[in-house]
């Protein structure tokens, strides 16, 4: 195994119960430490299934995944201590305040006392939410909720961060704060696995990407190199449309 690889996926296949078509079809992929890796693809391509397997929420039908030298399925508990997940849906308790949500999540990750409160204040300040710490999440705006969702995923300073469309449906200001801070987090050593449909955003933040369609990787590389690969491509969206086609996906 390459020392730089923080995630190694070998021949990963996932069949959902009752389906004869694989959601993930024999995928092999290496993600290097410190990368911001983009997983791109149309709806139903298999991105979420891959992320859910990597997070331990789903069991693969076949294949092997190693995360930070730990085999998924055998060392799930240790792996979960290393990863942070920011789902597309706001996975916070709406009737609880920002502070209460973060205290609970921090304690689950083993943080306590001064370390926990310092970390909470640091993150709330970083994302401009320090004044809203005692407000319930249900009273937050969409942008504030997205920022809180991100804080919840990084409270324990994870080595690997999975982000599933973290900027969907928010204003430009909130989006900027999130992307700027993600770059900062990445600089501090966190590997980021990022899925999004916003090609411009992916182009800005990802150091490497993989296009997935019908459960398979159809292209992989550095965004700028993929754009350069064909003179007809002006941006990542052109690459995306060329690879996945213009047919609507459900």
Partner 1 sequence: MQKLFALLYKDVLLLIRDRAGIALLFLMPLVLVFIMTSIQDNTFKSINESGISLLILDNDNDSLGLTIERELEKSNIFTISKEINHIKPTEATLKDAVASGIYQIGIIIPAEVTKKLKKNSKRNISRAFSGLPADTTNRIDTSQISVYIDPITKNSFKTTIFSTLREFTSKIENEIIIAEITKEINQRLPFNKVCLSSKNSITFKEEYALKENSRIIPNSVQHNVPAWTMFAMFFIVISLAGNMIKEREEGSVNSLLTMPCSYSTFITSKILIYILVCLLQLLLMLLMGVYFFPTLGLPALKIGVNFFAIFIIALSSSLAAIGYGVLIGTLSTTHQQAATFGSISVMILAAIGGVWVPVFAMPPFMRSISIISPLNWGLNGFYEVFIREGNTFSVLFDSFKLILFFTLCLLTSLLYKRLIRK
Complex with partner 1: residue 152 or 206, whichever CB lies closer: 152
Complex with partner 1: residue 33 or 75, whichever CB lies closer: 75
Instruction: State the nearest-atom distance from the C-beta of 242 to partner 1, in Å.
Output: 34
Binding residues vs partner 1 (CB under 8 A) = 17, 55-59, 77, 80-81, 83, 85, 87, 89-96, 100, 103-105, 107-110, 112, 152, 162
Decide the pairing of beta strands 216-221 and 208-213: antiparallel
Residue 48, SS3? helix
Complex with partner 1: residue 55 or 236, whichever CB lies closer: 55
* Sequential DSSP letters for 57-98: SS--SEEEEEETTEETTTSHHHHHHHEEEE-SS--S-TTSBH
Half-sphere exposure for 222 (CA within 13 Å, toward CB): 6
Complex with partner 1: residue 8 or 149, whichever CB lies closer: 149
Decide the pairing of beta strands 160-164 and 191-195: parallel
Instruction: State the nearest-atom distance from the C-beta of 235 to partner 1, in Å.
Output: 32
Instruction: State the nearest-atom distance from the C-beta of 73 to partner 1, in Å.
Output: 11
Q: 217 with 210: CB under 8 angstroms? A: yes
Instruction: State the nearest-atom distance from the C-beta of 177 to partner 1, in Å.
Output: 21
């Amino acid at each position: 195994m390459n020392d730089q690889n923080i995630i190694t996926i070998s021949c990963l296949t996932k069949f959902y119960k009752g389906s004869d078509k694989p959601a993930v079809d024999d995928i092999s992929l290496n993600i290097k430490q410190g990368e911001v890796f983009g997983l791109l693809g149309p709806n139903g391509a298999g991105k979420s299934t891959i992320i859910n397997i990597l997070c331990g929420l789903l069991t693969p039908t076949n294949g092997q995944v190693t995360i930070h030298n730990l085999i998924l399925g055998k060392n799930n508990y240790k792996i979960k201590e290393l990863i942070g997940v920011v789902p597309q849906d706001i996975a916070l308790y709406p009737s609880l305040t920002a502070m209460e949500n973060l205290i609970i999540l921090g304690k689950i990750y083993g943080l306590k006392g001064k370390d926990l409160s310092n970390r909470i204040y640091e993150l709330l300040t970083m994302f401009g939410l320090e004044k809203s710490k005692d407000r319930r999440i249900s009273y937050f705006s969409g942008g504030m909720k997205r920022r809180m969702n991100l804080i919840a995923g990084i409270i324990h300073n994870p080595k690997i961060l999975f982000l599933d469309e973290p900027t969907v449906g928010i204003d430009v200001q909130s989006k900027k704060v999130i992307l700027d801070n993600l770059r900062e987090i990445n600089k501090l050593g966190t590997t980021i696995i990022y899925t999004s449909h916003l090609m411009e955003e992916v182009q800005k933040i990802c150091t490497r990407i993989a296009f997935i369609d019908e459960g398979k990787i159809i292209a992989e590389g550095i965004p700028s190199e993929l754009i350069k690969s064909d003179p007809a491509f002006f941006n990542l969206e052109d690459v995306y449309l060329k690879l996945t086609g213009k047919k609507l996906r459900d």
